[in-house]
Chains A and B, each alone.
Chain A
């Protein structure tokens, strides 16, 4: 540094130098604060995702008891026809299948162990039988890994009553109780015991709801975007439409739930938990997002394209549909996918319109009672049973995976088709 202090120049005094040091310190601290903010935000994200993942891994497993089932000795009757009929499971139930399963379980696990078999466990055996009636004539015992009760599952995890924990470790050391990968989680539906729940019911409900949302919101959104950008005259009506759309995009989602409750359910009172109503409500919520992103995509198409088309004599409708729309479509799709991803994660409006039914079987069509994945997560989060914590986290993992997939597709589309004119 320059040592010649020239008092006539105030920027060369020792005080200035001292102050300079302070200023650089302040600069360093400021930069540190910025880094800290970023580190904190990313850390929270990682903490959140890691937390869910760690808890969720256990959700893809469940405690199962090994029960060899001898069909030939079971005393069950039936043939090819009766065992593949729709009511086959009920027939088996009436034949006392549950007791038979319990009997074999007692043989293998002892009374205490058999008592800890999940009370719906017999259905797994029934399901195997109805899909392969030839099993009935099997003389060799077939090994089934049947779900344990949630009490025993807790015991295996080291929680719950001491008796359960003791029983669990005894059975586990005998190789009769184990934590197995539970892929059935992805194909079952809601149930009262965490051992028996699955997300397929909610997932299918989500898919059906999303289909309705897409079918309604996408055409309306795109057409509205085209109208506003290409044809709308500059008058008060157009302003009103634009203001409406911008407002709707910023309205809290719960308000749409109120709207759905007041209007849709008043018109269709018996469709309370139906994907149709849920889809319509979410469509209203998603449509403004699609309109806004659609308009941006259309705005990005340069006027020269339109001018060129008009110059060869295309009508206004032809210009838009033959020339502008194809070029704007990738951008519109990106915005739509992002809007749909948002809709997939929505919970509050669907709670209000009643999509919180206890859905033990997957919905069959758009009008049957259903629930969606985020609502299922919400309902499970309220459960007292500790076993539900892992299941809820696993469901969250599935939901996040779907969102990741959708957003990745959107980003891929955006990068692939983003043209700079």
Chain B
């Protein structure tokens, strides 16, 4: 009996409780039509429903953690488990297979030893299913009865219900804080563990990156964890090459669309730019790897540069820049539109051409907003993963040549975490340290951008 079934049962019981509660409240009204009850019947109904459903939901959440453990424990306690391998991959395999057959997902097992575990699993699953069901019913009915008994004409059901609603709303909002805290805590925790194995100095200032996930975790070689090439690659691809593409194109698009284009053109091009922003990064990555990177390599070879890589920083950077164009364009659009039209009129009245007005008056006036937009764009670019995973390299190169291979922070995070490494190995933990640095940098950029925009707004108010 899956949690979903239990939840549905709970909802069904809640509905029943709702109807019963309302019926009782109606009976008060019939008995004494003149008196005004403290709350309308519908709130009594909701009161009962809340007392039925919420305790059950709490139970179901806890049960879905506990039940699988209890089931496995009871199977392990049964005599058939004596033959089970004591640890490792095989043990897990036998257990999973037996469970799969017991549930009916698989017709048979590959490991014969698992055969014996099927029956114990069936029994345990059935047993605990009934227990879960029974407890659900008991809690639901218990809660319902408790609430039902409290219904009286003078009972302030509405206040209680509304207070519950407020608490639910507050809890929903706290999820955001919880998530931020969760991110911070998990990153810090693992990073601290990492710095216990590799010194922060080696990490932040070392220039060689070549972790070996298979090496002995007891004696990590700090010199292999120098993240400078990663930081450099990230900046070179995301903050330099991508921005060289995105800033001019984004700015000029925004300027043309706001100052020169007629409404029809605007109506077609703005959605097109939004589409550019909406294309999933995995598609960009594939496009970069499949089409752009070979094009760049062929062009480079044709010009005489023979050692250009097919995983060049240029390929990844250019495609990333194209992806970022809409961000820059829309921020620039908003900033330029926010410049008071009195500035524009003043400049035209002086006899300035459109381009002079834009470049000498509008653009400088909109500069803070545009700068903020660029910072946000950089933040987006350095946090980008798929384009670089698919088009850039995993080779940690410290080079200034855009046709060379290079890797970034995000690529290494993926690489370190999608291998065979164990969770205690410094190579795996380094991913968290990298993630923490990335988190801090993007946070800093976002804060700075916000401050710039705030100061900008003050200048006009």
> Is A–B contact present in the complex under a CB 8 A cutoff?
yes
Where the two chains meet, the residues of A that have a C-beta atom closer than 8 Å to any C-beta of B are 11, 23-24, 26-27, 30-31, 33-38, 40-42, 44-45, 48, 51-52, 55, 86-87, 90, 219-221, 223-224, 226-228, 231-232, 240-241, 244-248, 250-256, 258-259, 261-263, 267, 270, 284, 287-288, 291, 315-317, 321, 341-342, 344-348, 351-352, 356, 364-365, 368, 374-375, 377-378, 381, 389, 392-393, 396, 399-400, 403, 407
Closest residue to A223 on the B side, CB-wise? B172
Give the dominant DSSP class at A's interface: helix
Partner of B176 from the list A288, A364, A368, A407 (CB cut-off 8 Å) is: A288
Expressed in whole angstroms, the minimum distance between the Cβ of A261 and any Cβ of chain B is 7
B169:A223 contact, CB within 8 angstroms: yes
**Extra inter-chain contacts (16) besides given A347-B385, A374-B280, CB under 8 Å:** A11-B351, A23-B353, A30-B355, A38-B257, A41-B276, A51-B287, A51-B290, A224-B175, A231-B169, A250-B446, A252-B382, A252-B384, A262-B187, A342-B278, A352-B418, A377-B282
Contacts of A231 in B (CB 8 A): 166, 169
Closest residue to B255 on the A side, CB-wise? A34
Contacts of B105 in A (CB 8 A): 364, 368
Report the bound CA distance from A305 to B194 in whole Å.
55
B383:A37 contact, CB within 8 angstroms: no
Contacts of B290 in A (CB 8 A): 51, 55, 381, 389
Contacts of A241 in B (CB 8 A): 173-174, 176-177
Do A351 and B182 form a contact, CB below 8 Å, given A23-B353, A42-B269, A227-B170?
Answer: no
Partner of A348 from the list B175, B325, B385 (CB cut-off 8 Å) is: B385
Expressed in whole angstroms, the minimum distance between the Cβ of A275 and any Cβ of chain B is 13
Partner of A378 from the list B251, B282, B410, B435 (CB cut-off 8 Å) is: B282
Give the dominant DSSP class at B's interface: helix
Q: B260 on the interface (CB 8 Å rule)?
A: yes
Closest residue to A353 on the B side, CB-wise? B417
Pick 21 A–B contacts, CB within 8 A, sort by A. Answer: A23-B356, A24-B353, A31-B355, A34-B257, A35-B256, A41-B249, A87-B107, A220-B175, A223-B173, A245-B176, A250-B379, A251-B442, A252-B382, A252-B442, A259-B179, A262-B186, A262-B189, A345-B283, A346-B280, A378-B386, A392-B286
Q: B180 on the interface (CB 8 Å rule)?
A: yes
Most chain B beta-carbon contacts within 10 A, residue among A42, A254, A403: A254
Contacts of B359 in A (CB 8 A): 30
Q: B414 on the interface (CB 8 Å rule)?
A: yes
Q: B400 on the interface (CB 8 Å rule)?
A: no
Contacts of A245 in B (CB 8 A): 176
Closest residue to A356 on the B side, CB-wise? B418
Expressed in whole angstroms, the minimum distance between the Cβ of B327 and any Cβ of chain A is 11
| Interface residues on chain B, number (Cβ under 8 Å) | 90
Contact with A along B281-315 (1 / 0, CB 8 A): 11111110111000000000000000000000000
Q: B57 on the interface (CB 8 Å rule)?
A: no
Closest residue to B174 on the A side, CB-wise? A241
Q: B183 on the interface (CB 8 Å rule)?
A: yes
A86:B179 contact, CB within 8 angstroms: no
Partner of A315 from the list B162, B278, B287 (CB cut-off 8 Å) is: B162
Report the bound CA distance from A263 to B183 in whole Å.
9
Do A86 and B418 form a contact, CB below 8 Å, given A30-B355, A224-B175, A403-B280?
Answer: no
